[in-house]
Copies of this chain bind each other. A is one copy, B any other.
Amino acid sequence: MTKRKVCVVVTARASYSRIKSVLCAIQQHKALELQLVVGASAVLDRYGNVISCMERDGFHIVAKVYMVLEGENLTTMAKTTGIGVLELATVFDNIKPDVVITVADRYETIATAIAASFMNIPVAHVQGGEVTGSIDEKVRHAVTKLSDIHFVATQKAADRVKLMGEEPSRVFVTGCPSIDLAAEVAKQAMLNFDPFEKYGGVGETMDISGGYVVVMQHPVTTEYEQAFTQVAEVLKAVVALDLPALWFWPNVDAGSDGVSKCIRIFREQNSSCKIHFFRHMMSEDFLRLLCNCRCLIGNSSVGIRETSFLGVPVVNVGNRQSGRERGQNVIDVGYNRSEIVDAVRKQLGHGPWPCNPLYGDGNAGTRIASLLSDVTLTIEKKFVN
The answer, yes or no, to whether A382 is at the interface (CB within 8 Å) is yes
With a cutoff of 8 Å between Cβ atoms, the chain B residues found around residue A385 in the complex are: 159-160, 163
Shortest distance in angstroms between A12's beta carbon and chain B's nearest beta carbon? 13
Decide if A119 touches B74 in the complex (CB within 8 Å).
yes
Complex: how many Å from CA A164 to CA B164?
4
With a cutoff of 8 Å between Cβ atoms, the chain B residues found around residue A113 in the complex are: 142
Complex: how many Å from CA A133 to CA B380?
8
Find the B residue at minimum CB distance from A65: B90
The answer, yes or no, to whether A227 is at the interface (CB within 8 Å) is no
The answer, yes or no, to whether A30 is at the interface (CB within 8 Å) is no
Decide if A138 touches B146 in the complex (CB within 8 Å).
yes
Decide if B268 touches A200 in the complex (CB within 8 Å).
yes
The answer, yes or no, to whether A66 is at the interface (CB within 8 Å) is yes
Which residues between 37 and 95 of chain A lie within 8 Å of chain B, taking CB atoms? Answer: 43-46, 66-72, 74-79, 81-90, 92-94
Find the B residue at minimum CB distance from A67: B69
Shortest distance in angstroms between A383's beta carbon and chain B's nearest beta carbon? 5
Find the B residue at minimum CB distance from A119: B74
With a cutoff of 8 Å between Cβ atoms, the chain B residues found around residue A78 in the complex are: 85, 88-89, 114-115, 118-119
Decide if B79 touches A66 in the complex (CB within 8 Å).
yes
Task: Identify A75's interface contact among B76, B79, B93, B141, CB under 8 A.
Answer: B93
Complex: how many Å from CA A152 to CA B257?
39
Q: How many residues of A contact B (CB 8 A)?
A: 72
Task: Identify A111's interface contact among B44, B82, B84, B141, CB under 8 A.
Answer: B82
Decide if B120 touches A110 in the complex (CB within 8 Å).
no
Decide if B46 touches A70 in the complex (CB within 8 Å).
yes
Task: Identify A381's interface contact among B79, B85, B137, B379, CB under 8 A.
Answer: B137
With a cutoff of 8 Å between Cβ atoms, the chain B residues found around residue A89 in the complex are: 75, 78-79, 82
Decide if B83 touches A69 in the complex (CB within 8 Å).
yes
With a cutoff of 8 Å between Cβ atoms, the chain B residues found around residue A222 in the complex are: 120, 379-380
Shortest distance in angstroms between A142's beta carbon and chain B's nearest beta carbon? 4
Task: Identify A114's interface contact among B110, B119, B224, CB under 8 A.
Answer: B110
The answer, yes or no, to whether A144 is at the interface (CB within 8 Å) is yes
The answer, yes or no, to whether A263 is at the interface (CB within 8 Å) is no
Find the B residue at minimum CB distance from A134: B380
Mask, A132-169, CB within 8 Å of B = 1, is 01010111011111100000000000011001110000
Query: A residues engaging B (CB < 8 A)?
Result: 43-46, 66-72, 74-79, 81-90, 92-94, 107, 110-111, 113-115, 117-120, 131, 133, 135, 137-139, 141-146, 159-160, 163-165, 200, 221-222, 224, 257, 261, 268, 322-323, 379-383, 385
Give me 7 A-to-B residue pairs in the complex whose CB atoms sit less than 8 angstroms apart, sorted by A's number.
Answer: A81-B118, A82-B85, A82-B115, A85-B85, A110-B114, A117-B138, A163-B163
